[in-house]
Every structure is written in C-alpha cells, then in structure tokens.
Amino acid sequence: MLPNEAGEVNNPLRDNIAWFLEAERQKRELPHQHMAELFKTSSGQGLAYRTYIRTMRKRNNVTLRTVEQMAQALEVSIATILVGGAKLKPWAHKLTEKSIRARLADIINSERERRKLLRYQMAELLGVSEITFTKLE
C-alpha cells in the first residue's frame, strides 16, 4: 500500500481508529493535547503526542498494543475502536490483544497454506516486511 499525495495510505482500520478518536475527543470537548494525555499510564509512560496526532491524521499505523492502551484509557473495548462507529456483537467487546493476535495468526497461516505461498510471498501480498509478517505469524 502506497501513500497518496497527502501521505495517507488506504487503511480502513486506521480510518476507523482515527474516526473513533476524533468522535471521542469531540464528545469529551478536549483539545488534542489533552486527549493525548489521557493515554498516559500511571508511571508516566504512554502514547506519545506525536503518535496520537499521526494516528489522527492517518499518517501511521498503530500496534494492537497501542489500540489496547487507548481502549483502556477511554474505557471502551478494543473492538469498539477498531470498528469505528459500526455496531458490534456483544462477544466482540471481550476480545483482548492476545486473542486478536492469535486469531489473526491463524487466519494468516491458513490463508498462506491454502495459497501455497512462502512466508516472504505472503508478506509481500499483505504489504508488510518479512520481519513484520513473522511477528504477525
């Protein structure tokens, strides 16, 4: 996936995340800086303002761990953020980072085997590096 002239890559999940964060920010009537501060953990570690802004502008992808961190801070499920404003079945709210990763790995591996592709070929098909694919796997 290549970026367009605005530096954006067509990525529906990232669009959903950006949409949800903006809707939540407006609902809470917060400036961006204060919204980003919600994602700080108790130890002072947390989502960097730069990561938050780049996510809002659809200029980068975020990890599932980052989405989980956002969900915890906003007191919503990971699925709620990932689907944007779409309706969810009740079971989807129970998905954790670990369960989502396991399911993605199963889907990716079965699809790779079904297509009889090597790892580097599947990585290319997904538009990720081989290292990223190995992490997904």
* Residues sharing a CB contact under 8 Å with residue 112, sequence separation 6 or more, in sequence order: 119, 122
pLDDT-derived band at 1, boundaries 50, 70, 90: low
CATH superfamily, region 12-88 = lambda repressor-like DNA-binding domains (1.10.260.40)
With contact defined as beta carbons under 8 Å apart, do 39 and 73 qualify? yes
| Mean pLDDT taken over the chain | 84
Q: What is the pLDDT of residue 80?
A: 93
In Å, how far are 43, 47, 97, 99, 124 from 92, measured between CA atoms? 29, 24, 12, 11, 29
Q: How many whole angstroms separate alpha carbon 57 and alpha carbon 50?
A: 10
CA 37 to chain centre: 19
For the stretch 90-114, pLDDT in tens is 898 888 888 888 888 898 889 999 9
pLDDT for 115: 93
Is this prediction's pTM over 0.85?
A: no
Q: Domain coordinates of the chain in residue numbers?
A: 12-88, 98-136
> Who contacts 116 (Cβ-Cβ below 8 Å, separation ≥6)?
none
